[in-house]
Amino acid sequence: MDFNAAVQRQRDFFRSGQTRPLEFRAAQLKKLSAALDANEKAIFAAVFADLRKSPDQAYASEIGLVQAEIRCALKNLKRWASPKRSSTPLLVSPARGRVQPGPFGVCLIFSAWNYPVQLLLAPLVSAIAAGNCCVLKPSELAPKTAEVMAMLIKQTFAEDYICVVNGAVDVAENLLRERFDKIFFTGSTNAGRAVMKAAANHLTPVTLELGGKCPAVVCSDATVELAAKRIAWGKFLNAGQTCVAPDFVLVQRGLRDAFLRAIQTSVLLFYGEDASKSPDYGRIVNRRHFDRVMKFLVEGKVFIGGKCDPDNLFISPTVLTDLPDDCAAMTEEIFGPVLPVVEFDHLDDAIRILKDRPAPLALYLFTNDKTTEQTLLENIPSGGVCINDVISHMVGTGLPFGGVGASGMGAYHGRTGFDSFSHHRTIVRKATWLDLPFRYPPKKIELDALKRAMRFMLRG
């Protein structure tokens, strides 16, 4: 594909003004929803081939979340796109101010392989709602899903409005040489740096949804069985290949043994004696990632799990204990079904451990004490937080989802996604019937009087 020509066609289509009417945007969202319904079986088959996700899991974690974004956008589009009145200071009176959301233009969306439908199409919903054109780049590591996404988009939209570009790293690098008006990237922190560097060449605004080691802190007053059950679910969902999965657990001393037993019980309840036979347990995406995850198993002690089948890219739900602080399992993002569990004595010790790390995409705290909760929130930055749960902070259209620092910048979902793909332009309409001489030279008053006047005339 001639990327320059493809981007230019989309730019021409955007400049024609066809994407701006709300009726057009709503119609495209409805077409996307219908296409998801019509291609549901093909999507299920592709996601199963790439990640061994069951249809139930594929709908709950992929299609269902995108459909929820579409419904939310259709319901609220008119309100989101309406200009908002804004006050103006006396200094510019008589005048009226407003803030008008408008589309950026041609957007580039990169998705990750672990949720290859949701992470591609949820940002697309926001981009369509905001009135943009889009080039989509699915991950080549989920090739079957990438093929289905390309087919679905081609059948649904004109290429000069929305198109899919498939390929490996060289394709992504070539795309990034083009000038886009907005880039939305989901992936690793290192790849995010490369995207941001490329975007800087054109001063293109970016939203980066990255990763990091998301900690779960289980305090002595937590409901231990429930904490273990929820952590086990969040960790081993999609075989641990979830950006907001708990990546390690800090459990208060004296609670460790009960927590480990409860984790063991939960894994048995979820997946049975042999997780390889469970229809609800996924596989590692490819051999390279399988080998990467396996290296963590040589550290510490295996409490449960540790079984693997390289031919089927299977690694059982695994819990590690007795780990040194500087081992790979405690310093690198695991992104697989391996859960390190480490003890701490006092909350200050847990805070000390977490403060030395980059800000994670999610922070999970299990406690029933409000003071403990507030202390941790005040001391540990993160993209999002769940108290006594995991992952639930990212599934609602009313809850902005995004990272901070090394875990990303910007956010999306619902209204926040619309705003992420919109430029909010300030517009001031100045009256012509009065023109005060105050601001024009030559100087009218002394400096001290000017300072007093400015304090008064610039009040919000």
Q: List, by residue number, the catalytic residues.
A: 209, 243
Indicate the burial class of 436 (C-beta count within 10 angstroms; 0-12, 13-18, 19 or more).
exposed
- What distances in angstroms separate CA 214 from CA 235, 331, 370, one per listed residue? 10, 11, 21
Q: Which residues pair with 109 in a beta bridge?
A: 136, 184
For residue 340, the tally of other CB atoms under 10 A from its CB is 24
The arrangement of strands across the sheet holding 106-110 comes to 162-164, 133-137, 106-110, 182-186, 206-209, 408-409
Alpha helix segments (H runs only) across 55-117: 55-58, 64-81
What is the 8-class DSSP label of residue 245?
S
Amino acid letter at 415?
R
Structure tokens at 402: 């995004």
For residue 168, the tally of other CB atoms under 10 A from its CB is 10
Tell me whether strands 206-209 and 338-344 are parallel, antiparallel or unpaired. unpaired
The contacts of residue 409 (CB under 8 Å, 6+ apart) are 206, 207, 208, 402, 403
* First and final C-alpha spacing in the chain: 52
Q: How far apart are CA 239 and CA 456, in angstroms?
A: 61
Contacts 24+ apart (CB under 8 A), 192-199: 192/408, 195/110, 198/173
Nearest residue to 315 (alpha-carbon basis) of 325, 304, 299: 304
Alpha helix segments (H runs only) across 39-167: 40-51, 55-58, 64-81, 118-130, 143-156
Nearest residue to 131 (alpha-carbon basis) of 162, 85, 176: 162
Per DSSP, the residues of 356-373 read TSPPPSEEEEE-S-HHHH
Tell me whether strands 84-86 and 411-412 are parallel, antiparallel or unpaired. unpaired
Q: Which residues pair with 184 in a beta bridge?
A: 109, 207
